[in-house]
Structure 1
Amino acid sequence: MKSHLDFIPQKYTQKLVEKGKFQWSAPSNIALVKYWGKKENQIPANPSISFTLNNCKTTTTLEFEPKGFTSENFSFDLFLDGIPKEDFKPKMQKFFERIAVYLPFLKDFHFTIFTQNTFPHSSGIASSASGMAAMAVNLMSIEKLFNPAMSDDYFWQKASFLARLGSGSACRSVKGSVVVWGENSSIVDSSDLFGVAFTEKIHKNFQCFQDTILLVDKGEKVVSSTVGHELMHNHPFAVQRFEQAHKNLAQMKQILIDGNLEQFVALVESEALTLHAMMMTSMPYFILMKPNTLEIINKIWKFRNETNIQVCFTLDAGANVHVLYPEEVKNEVLQFIKNELIDYCQNQQYICDEIGNGAQKII
């Protein structure tokens, strides 16, 4: 079993690396079995499984040049959509502090980070997963300059490991199309330290799965996910929830192999509501769903009952609704969304996405 010590490099074969740049894109992801609650060092309290998305992604260009002097400080500038973002720098500083032991070259370079998202800023889609995943693969590209013999397996595994230290769910955005994060007895080589690609053959029902994201509320959440995770430490139902997640992940594995859409719908919706039930029963308690979230859920249930089309919803830690459905019913579901659901979205905004393949190198 892997240890975090496996990701501390012993020595580099290449001593001198000049200035350069890399550019990668990395997508967001949507969990089917949710992770809620974490231990020290970004270790999940329970395992999770997610679809990697395709269109909602972050593209990050990382320019680097040697400082030319020894320094104990990190040196970087950060731009979002070409505009300096000083308020993003503390999070990047914290990320660098966490990963410095695993990337010993970090303090030797000045970095210029240019990042942009394909989805609107503050659209309520978590950009931390895609953003930290994109940053991690860029940094691994630099480390590969120091160690050209690095294997692809090590590259991807360590990239996921580093991404996790920036934002837990980011470790599920490095590879695709289905990723498991967290030790679970039903998944070979599963780990708390990084995400692993689902190795079983996924049934054709799920291979081109669609995710239309309904933007119910684009405002800042009243409770951050970080605070929400912390509230699981003394939660009265935490033990039962963690046991449930392990069982649900094993069940989801079989569903993805067998292609049973009815079971998929039931489990995914149950997981989404369980996530929000944990929020509503923590102390202090909170509700992130909005009235329009509930309106959409009820409309989806009614549509499914009337048409027998296997469309379902899931939720992240927020008000927005991810509408999940097979590609073969795309036309019917999109018509339903346009006819009945967009009025519940802020400014009638929604984003069409689908299952994807993870981070992609551009430069």
Structure 2
Amino acid sequence: MLKFTKQQVVAEYLPDTVSPQSMKTFSFAPSNIALCKYWGKRDAELNLPINSSLSVSLAHLGSKTRILLSDTEQDQVVLNDELLAADNSFAVKVIAFIDMFRRGADHKVRVETENNIPTAAGLASSASGFAALMQAVNEFYRLELDLSLQSAFARMGSGSASRSLFTGFVEWQMGQREDGMDSIAAPLAAQWPELRIGLIKVSTAQKPVDSRSGMNRTVATAHLYQSWPMQAAADLSQLHTAIETQDFKLLGQTAEQNALSMHATMIASWPPLLYWQADSVTAMHKIWQLRAEGLSLYFTMDAGPNLKVLFNTADEAEICKQFPDMQVITPFGNQ
């Protein structure tokens, strides 16, 4: 039996009636890459995590969203200039999120979203998507919610969206409250101008098992998962130390082990869940070989086949030579 529904929690922080207005400009939210992963929920309805997590944003890569009043007979969702069918899974999730704030009003909306990263390919498009949607909802309904509340509500659309309301390093606290309102993200003050993230896109196709389903399968069937919360807590502490001391080796080692530990729990689930493709493994071996030869680089992976390479600007030229198709992101600098 549910302790709280999303609607019950959100309603506590909204006015009795809402005042919609068409947005003239788009709200933007960056995608983020978790260095300490979120994997597993203590409450599926509210997307409350079993462990705290820490990410770094991807600067200009992410999602733009605006909401317009519509004179049509049904709500509309437009993704990258394509009008989605009403029963499209993404459209259904978007409108369900809008409904948490619409308060039963009978107006219809048109939601326009643009991603400059592949959708549902393990590059955190849902995180930036629901964070941008939350910002758009806040403006469209003139709610004037602070960022902590927006983070909590964005989390109900996609857990990692709680982190995409911010830039730089961001920590999402797991929280303890049953209503989840202490399960929010906040940015860290630390900057790391020399840090670079390289995107190795093995596949931009939609993954066959979405993260939510994969997470549920892992928690339900993988005995290895029992050790995950302890691993994540230890990794989170190590990452804080690495960021505070600007220790790149510690940052990279911790992020890579955390990612591989998460994927190990997926592989140990049943049926086995393996997001990697052959080219993913080839890239891993190449990174390990380059590191053995003295080049300082590490990788992390979310629930998908694509790799995110961590390195410092001093090694950028050589690493780009080794991976000529890699897209380089500067999280703490101008693009």
**What TM-score bracket applies, with the shorter chain setting the length?**
0.7 to 0.9
Matching residue within 125, 128, 138 for 1:127: 125
SS of 1:233's equivalent in the other structure is: helix
1-side partners of 2:283 and 2:165: how far apart? Answer: 31
Matching residue within 32, 44, 48 for 2:35: 32
Q: Map 1:218-233; keep pairs closer than 5 Å.
A: 218-231=204-217, 232-233=219-220
- Residue-by-residue CA offset, 1:159-186 (whole Å, 9 max, x unaligned): 222221111111111112111113379x
- Residue-by-residue CA offset, 1:44-86 (whole Å, 9 max, x unaligned): 121111001113211222213699xxxxxx9421112222111
Contact 1:161 1:171 in 2 (8 A): yes
Q: Map 1:131-280; keep pairs closer than 5 Å.
A: 131-143=129-141, 145=142, 147=143, 150=144, 154-183=145-174, 193-199=183-189, 201-202=190-191, 206-231=192-217, 232-280=219-267
SS of 2:310's equivalent in the other structure is: strand
Following superposition, the deviation at residue 315 of structure 1 comes to 0.7
Partner of 2:284: 297
Contact 2:18 2:102 in 1 (8 A): no
Partner of 2:110: 112
Give the letter aligned to residue 198 of structure 1.
L
1-side partners of 2:19 and 2:132: how far apart? Answer: 24
2-side partners of 1:94 and 1:176: how far apart? Answer: 25
Partner of 1:360: none
Contact 2:202 2:305 in 1 (8 A): yes
Distance of aligned partners of 1:354 and 1:7 in 2 relative to their CA distance in 1, 3 Å threshold: farther
1-side partners of 2:166 and 2:300: how far apart? Answer: 21
2-side partners of 1:115 and 1:59: how far apart? Answer: 6
TM-score, length basis structure 1? 0.78
- Residue-by-residue CA offset, 1:98-139 (whole Å, 9 max, x unaligned): 5645x2456343211222222355765332111111111000
1-side partners of 2:264 and 2:238: how far apart? Answer: 21
1-side partners of 2:108 and 2:77: how far apart? Answer: 11
SS of 2:75's equivalent in the other structure is: strand
TM-score, length basis structure 2? 0.84
1-side partners of 2:129 and 2:9: how far apart? Answer: 25
Cα RMSD over matched residues?
Answer: 3.0
Gapped runs of 5+ residues in structure 2? 1-5
1:44 aligns with 2:35: no
Distance of aligned partners of 1:356 and 1:78 in 2 relative to their CA distance in 1, 3 Å threshold: farther
Give the letter aligned to residue 197 of structure 2.
D
Partner of 1:8: 12
1-side partners of 2:11 and 2:169: how far apart? Answer: 24
SS of 1:141's equivalent in the other structure is: helix
Distance of aligned partners of 1:126 and 1:86 in 2 relative to their CA distance in 1, 3 Å threshold: farther
Q: Map 1:61-80; keep pairs closer than 5 Å.
A: 61-64=66-69, 75-80=74-79
Following superposition, the deviation at residue 327 of structure 1 comes to 2.4
With CA pairs under 8 Å and 6+ residues apart, which has the higher RCO, 1 or 2? 1
Following superposition, the deviation at residue 255 of structure 1 comes to 0.9
Following superposition, the deviation at residue 192 of structure 1 comes to 5.7
Give the letter aligned to residue 259 of structure 1.
Q
Give the letter aligned to residue 138 of structure 1.
A
1-side partners of 2:282 and 2:154: how far apart? Answer: 35
Contact 2:299 2:309 in 1 (8 A): yes
Give the letter aligned to residue 171 of structure 2.
V
**Identity over the aligned pairs, expressed in percent?**
25
Following superposition, the deviation at residue 88 of structure 1 comes to 7.0
Give the letter aligned to residue 305 of structure 1.
A
Distance of aligned partners of 1:34 and 1:191 in 2 relative to their CA distance in 1, 3 Å threshold: farther
1-side partners of 2:140 and 2:290: how far apart? Answer: 50
Partner of 2:3: none
Number of residue pairs matched by the alignment: 321
Distance of aligned partners of 1:181 and 1:106 in 2 relative to their CA distance in 1, 3 Å threshold: farther
Contact 1:225 1:317 in 2 (8 A): yes
2-side partners of 1:162 and 1:262: how far apart? Answer: 35
Q: Map 1:274-289; keep pairs closer than 5 Å.
A: 274-289=261-276
Contact 1:66 1:108 in 2 (8 A): no
Distance of aligned partners of 1:326 and 1:111 in 2 relative to their CA distance in 1, 3 Å threshold: same
2-side partners of 1:34 and 1:15: how far apart? Answer: 36
- Residue-by-residue CA offset, 1:228-283 (whole Å, 9 max, x unaligned): 11021343122311111112111211111011111112111101111110111112
1-side partners of 2:252 and 2:21: how far apart? Answer: 52
Distance of aligned partners of 1:100 and 1:305 in 2 relative to their CA distance in 1, 3 Å threshold: same
